[in-house]
Amino acid sequence: MSEHTHGLQHGLTNYGDRDFSLYLRRSFAQSMGYSRALLSKPVVGIAYTPSGFNNCHRHFPELLDAVKRGVLAAGALPIAFPTISLGEVFLSPTSLKYRNLMSIDTEEMIRAQPMDAVVLMGGCDKTVPAQLMGAVSAGRPAVMLVAGPMMTGRHRGERLGACTDCRRFWARYRAGEVAEAEISQVEGQLAVTAGTCAVMGTASTMACIAEALGLILPGSAAIPAVHADRLRAAEATGAAAVQLIGSERTADRIVNAKSVENALRALLALGGSTNAVIHLTAIAGRAGVKVSLDDLNRLSDSTPVLVNLKPVGNGYMEDFFAAGAMGALLRELKPLLHLECMTVTGETLGERLASAAAYVDRSIIAEREKPFEPQGGLVALFGNLAPKGAVLKRSAADAKLFEHEGRAVVFSSLADLAARIDDPALDVTPQDVLVLQNAGPHARACMPEAGYLPIPKKLAQRGVKDMIRISDARMSGTAYGTIVLHVTPDAASGGPLGLVRSGDRIRLSVKQRRIDLLVEDAELKARAAALKPAPMQPERGYAKLYAQEILGADEGCDFAFLRPATGLP
Ligand code: FES
């Protein structure tokens, strides 16, 4: 038998006799009805993630057929394999807890099974970062196919899309502006097709970042899930995976300091999700690249917001697709990008972008000289309340609150928030600063998207739409407001956020990039000494692994033992 290993010969099961291992593997593979001719071909594995608990991946069976025909037509054998799938709204306490588990599953199954290249099929929020983290660590040739966004629904003549409009209508319902009957009609119009959330939320942001990194086919990030072009992209992705075989275009090489900077530029120009900062930090970390919040600020100062999509603007992903999508955006950003970066097709980013865009709808994608906003959508804040940083999506915030000092109204946990936020007796005014503690990565809650604290009902009913809110939690990419997130270190790991008490003064200065607790150091030291931290100590299973290994938001909430052995600079 040949010593040259490809296809099913990769990584043989160890029985102490290589030829016997191969004979046995072929024999079992033939039980699946493959011909010997097909079994001798190179293999493209397909990390396949449909799930009854993942509505966003509902169309994956059809997409899989298209990927397979692309692989077969290009001369290789496609073999799909399952990994866990993370459907954002079906997971408790939060999908972030399981992102690293999915990345481990993906990495190990790519490495353990015989494949020459892999197609990663993902889409819903945490699935794309999990698969990219796994693929970078596995170090095999990999190309991603994203699910694509949902189409919008209709309600009384208005377009609706998950999930910015979910929040908008819910806020109006809480304020008494929308009746019970109407909110249940709206519920049926928010998510009306397969695919990921219809706005520039986390899933769409991560799809666009994957395109900026060069890990998906050009032009494929924004194709709607149900569009025929999505099937053509799937077929082309299968063919591209075959072209990757034997190449050095592995995910760990394509993700490098320069391509990560390109991705950060894209994130800022998109006015993309704050979650993407955490995920990109984790993906880059697997390749040994450090993403610092100082870098984010440096790039944010010189990257304009060019995209007009909800939650920052008006449009939906279907509009972005029709407007020219990532190709048009990256062409606008060209002078700011590292064009020499290699992409998964073997072209450099510059080669991908060499031709002019065929058509660009300027109401959705602006020219760089006429941006929607002159600076990037995200800004990092530091200060005595967030020594290792925090993130504010300034493009989705109220600029009138950017320089503000107010009284803290503190909620010590999610349960405390739920119990008191709507209490008519809550001592709160619109000028106050709402603070949520113990919702960070080290808390039992595992950093849920709870940073979008609701406006207290009694203020919402008076028409208050925004207030400064601060937490160590995350926020959905589809949400908006003057919301300071990812405060690091988090309260549960001893960060100063845990020392804030109701009545303290807090100062936010976006101009100075600071968030400060205006309390004397001596008093903070006394409070810290009196604090009795209650770290999570699960007794067994994945929860125990999570508690032992979880890193802070500044390190992408990855697990310490999954970082490269050489460590990060
Ligand atoms: Fe899957 Fe929003 S719930 S992308």
pLDDT of 569 above 80 = no
CA of 104 to the centre of ligand 1 (A): 21
State whether the beta carbon of 235 lies less than 6 angstroms from ligand 1: no
pLDDT average, residue stretch 164-182: 92
How many Å apart are CA 410 and CA 416, to the nearest integer? 9
DSSP assignment letter at 342: B
State whether the beta carbon of 449 lies less than 6 angstroms from ligand 1: no
Check residues 396 and 336 and name the one with the higher pLDDT.
336
pLDDT digits (tens, 9 = 90+) for 119-154: 999 999 999 999 999 999 999 999 999 999 999 999
pLDDT of 371 above 60 = yes
What pLDDT score was predicted for residue 527?
A: 96
**Cβ(382)–Cβ(514) below 8 Å:** yes
What pLDDT score was predicted for residue 1?
A: 33
Rounded to a whole number, what is the largest CA-CA distance in the chain?
Answer: 80
pLDDT of 4 above 80 = no
* Host H or E run for residue 404: strand 403-411
CA of 1 to the centre of ligand 1 (A): 48
What pLDDT score was predicted for residue 364?
A: 98
How many Å apart are CA 41 and CA 396, to the nearest integer? 51
State whether the beta carbon of 91 lies less than 6 angstroms from ligand 1: no
Q: What is the dihedral of CA 472, 478, 479, 482, to 10 degrees?
A: 80
pLDDT of 568 above 90 = no
Task: Tell me the residue type at 147.
Answer: A
CA of 126 to the centre of ligand 1 (A): 9
pLDDT average, residue stretch 25-39: 94
pLDDT of 544 above 80 = yes
How many Å apart are CA 370 and CA 458, to the nearest integer? 40
Atom of ligand 1 nearest to the CA of 162: 2
Q: Give the global pTM.
A: 0.96
Check residues 311 and 362 and name the one with the higher pLDDT.
362
Q: Residues 507-536, buried b or exposed e (16+ Cβ, 10 A)?
A: bbebeebbbbbebeeeebeeeeeeeeeeeb
In 3-state terms, what secondary structure has residue 406?
Answer: strand
CA of 378 to the centre of ligand 1 (A): 21
Could you list the beta-strand ranges (E) of 83-232.
Answer: 117-122, 142-146, 153-155, 158-160
| CA nearest to 349, candidates 338, 360, 357 | 338
CA of 44 to the centre of ligand 1 (A): 27
pLDDT of 189 above 80 = yes
State whether the beta carbon of 88 lies less than 6 angstroms from ligand 1: yes
pLDDT of 2 above 50 = no
CA of 390 to the centre of ligand 1 (A): 24
Atom of ligand 1 nearest to the CA of 204: 4
State whether the beta carbon of 479 lies less than 6 angstroms from ligand 1: no
pLDDT digits (tens, 9 = 90+) for 463-503: 999 999 999 999 988 788 999 999 999 999 999 999 999 99
Atom of ligand 1 nearest to the CA of 123: 4
Token pair belonging to 126: 């945490």
pLDDT grade, residue 537 (50/70/90)? Answer: confident
CA of 184 to the centre of ligand 1 (A): 20
pLDDT average, residue stretch 312-339: 97
What pLDDT score was predicted for residue 3?
A: 40
How many Å apart are CA 507 and CA 59, to the nearest integer? 47
Q: Which residue CA neighbors atom 3 of ligand 1 most closely?
A: 88
Around Cβ 73, how many Cβ atoms within 10 Å?
Answer: 12
| CA nearest to 259, candidates 220, 267, 524, 129 | 267
CA of 216 to the centre of ligand 1 (A): 19
Q: Under 8 Å CB-to-CB from 484, ≥6 apart: which residues?
A: 381, 386, 390, 391, 392, 451, 468, 469, 470, 471, 508, 515
In 3-state terms, what secondary structure has residue 349?
Answer: helix
DSSP assignment letter at 273: -
pLDDT average, residue stretch 322-336: 98
- Residue to mutate, 49, 85, 88, 121, ligand 1, most ligand atoms under 8 Å from C-beta: 88
- List residues bridging with 391 in a β-sheet: 380, 485
pLDDT digits (tens, 9 = 90+) for 80-133: 999 999 999 999 999 999 999 999 999 999 999 999 999 999 999 999 999 999
pLDDT average, residue stretch 214-227: 98
| CA nearest to 311, candidates 220, 205, 390, 401 | 205
- List residues bridging with 122 in a β-sheet: 146
| CA nearest to 496, candidates 381, 380, 390, 384 | 384
| pLDDT-wise least confident of 27-31, 163-167, 206-210, 301-305 | 163-167
Q: What percent of the chain has pLDDT over 70?
A: 98
State whether the beta carbon of 90 lies less than 6 angstroms from ligand 1: no
DSSP assignment letter at 455: P
| CA nearest to 164, candidates 477, 422, 548 | 477
pLDDT average, residue stretch 550-563: 97
State whether the beta carbon of 125 lies less than 6 angstroms from ligand 1: yes
> How far is the first Cα of the chain from the last one, in angstroms, to the nearest whole number?
45
State whether the beta carbon of 194 lies less than 6 angstroms from ligand 1: no
Alpha carbon distances (Å) from 509 to 127, 394, 405, 545:
35, 12, 9, 38
- Residue to mutate, 54, 60, 85, 124, ligand 1, most ligand atoms under 8 Å from C-beta: 124
What pLDDT score was predicted for residue 567?
A: 62
Q: Which residue CA neighbors atom 2 of ligand 1 most closely?
A: 197
What pLDDT score was predicted for residue 5?
A: 65
Alpha helix stretches (DSSP H) within 33-121:
36-39, 60-73, 96-112
